[in-house]
Amino acid sequence: MTAANTFNAPDWLAAQPIVPLGHWPTPLEPLPRLSAELGGPKIWVKRDDCSGLATGGNKTRKLEYLIADAQQHGADTIVSYGAVQSNHARQTAAACAKLGMECHLLLSRRVDRSDQNYQHNGNMLFNHLLNAHIHTFELDDFEEGRLHILSSLEQQGKKVYQIPAGGSNAIGALGYSRCISELMWQAPFTLTQIVHASASAGTQAGLVFGNAAQDYGVDILGINVFHPDPDTLKQRITGLLRSMQDRFDVVQSIENLPIHINHAYFGGAYGQPTQAGLDAIKMFAALEGILLDPVYSGKAAAGLIDQITLGNFDNHEHVVFIHTGGTASLSAYDSIW
């Protein structure tokens, strides 16, 4: 910790409307046994899996800004999107339950898994417990179903606010601009390298934007876990950065901002576990008592471990791994163990 007792966001961030939903700051923990095992830089984990909202995760940071915007627009109903087993959907449902807002989750059967645990356990069980209205669709039927539900809610007189998948727009990404400032305040060392899972682009865009706005000079590596073509992820991040620049006017230019993505740990498809990811989950559990998930944090941890083993982080004394959450889905993937 620094000498300051309380984290204060940069002025431009502090000026943005926010609804408190999480437990901040999330812990920043050293991982001495994992670090010794790998023999590279000292590894730290930013525990955004401890952020609150029904087992936590990275979407809590985004939802603080998104729900504030929804309230400013007079919304009483939230509609959001994701895949079956979406961590974002579960955290959105928890936020709505906490604030007394109606929640509709429109979920696509994007992942080729049909076992009963995947369909009904994990995040799906939590969604039900959190009293969300759950609508599931095949991918081909999704847009028609979405329009039907929005029309129905409008006819009921609901004031609807739509949150994109992953909470990833210019407003939601603010959560991770705040996170990098929180990390800089919190770290008892000079922060130079961050590794995290990158999917809907909001986490990485927020980190990159906050990094540039405050001139921190941190290298940010996103491990692609969602996009078959990593260029799609880079384009989404760039688009979000452009939207943030237009909206918040604290970064002079986004044209030369570094967007570092590694696609080597994606595997066969989104939501399908990899052996490297499963090995990383077991290593984090056995050495540090930390649970990851096979969709996001496990694949990102596989990237972290391999990059250290390859010596690609040897120029850093410390590396921070952002644990974006997802352990709620472990029981849905029980058949992989």
Q: Domain for residue 318, yes or no?
A: yes
Q: Domain for residue 116, yes or no?
A: yes
Same domain, 156 and 292: no
Tokens standing for residue 110: 């994007």
Same domain, 69 and 157: yes
Q: How far is residue 318's CA from residue 13's CA, in Å, rounded to a whole number? A: 27
Domain total of the chain: 2
Whole-number CA gyration radius for the chain: 19
- Alpha carbon 110 to its chain centroid, in Å, reads 18
Do the beta carbons of residue 98 and residue 52 sit within 8 Å? no
Same domain, 162 and 79: yes
Query: Could you give the C-alpha distances from 234 to 18, 147, 171, 272, in angstroms and in order?
Result: 28, 29, 19, 21
Same domain, 141 and 204: no
Among the listed residues 91, 83, 96, 94, the one whose alpha carbon sits nearest the alpha carbon of residue 160: 96
Examine the fold and report which residue of 114, 144, 167 is the final residue of a domain before the chain moves on: 167
Element (H or E) spanning 136, and its range? Answer: strand 133-137
Listed as ranges, residues in the chain with pLDDT below 50 are 1-4
Same domain, 109 and 177: no
Same domain, 210 and 108: no
Q: How far is residue 158's CA from residue 84's CA, in Å, rounded to a whole number? A: 25
Same domain, 210 and 299: yes
Could you tell me the residue range of the domain that residue 154 belongs to?
59-167
Examine the fold and report which residue of 108, 140, 167 is the final residue of a domain before the chain moves on: 167
Q: Domain for residue 6, yes or no?
A: no
Q: How far is residue 105's CA from residue 176's CA, in Å, rounded to a whole number? A: 23
Half-sphere exposure at residue 123, Cβ-oriented, CA atoms within 13 angstroms = 26
Give me the CATH number covering residue 133: 3.40.50.1100
pTM of full prediction above 0.85: yes
Same domain, 160 and 242: no
How does pLDDT run across 47-75, given as a tens digit for each residue?
A: 999 999 999 999 999 999 999 999 999 99
Give me the active site residues, please.
86
For residue 1, the model assigns a pLDDT of 33
Q: Domain for residue 187, yes or no?
A: yes
Same domain, 143 and 173: no
Strand-strand pairing, 77-83 and 160-163 = parallel
Same domain, 264 and 162: no
Tokens standing for residue 111: 């992942």
Packed helices 174-186 and 202-214: angle between N→C axes, nearest 10 degrees: 60
For residue 186, the model assigns a pLDDT of 98
How does pLDDT run across 238-269, given as a tens digit for each residue?
A: 999 999 999 999 999 999 999 999 999 999 99
Tokens standing for residue 319: 């590396």
Tokens standing for residue 28: 């920043």
Q: Domain for residue 4, yes or no?
A: no
For residue 162, the model assigns a pLDDT of 98
Q: Domain for residue 3, yes or no?
A: no
**What b-and-e string marks burial along 285-318, b requiring 16 or more CB atoms within 10 Å of the CB?**
eebbebbbbbbbbbbbbbbbbbbbeeeebeebeb
Examine the fold and report which residue of 109, 135, 167 is the final residue of a domain before the chain moves on: 167
Same domain, 44 and 90: no
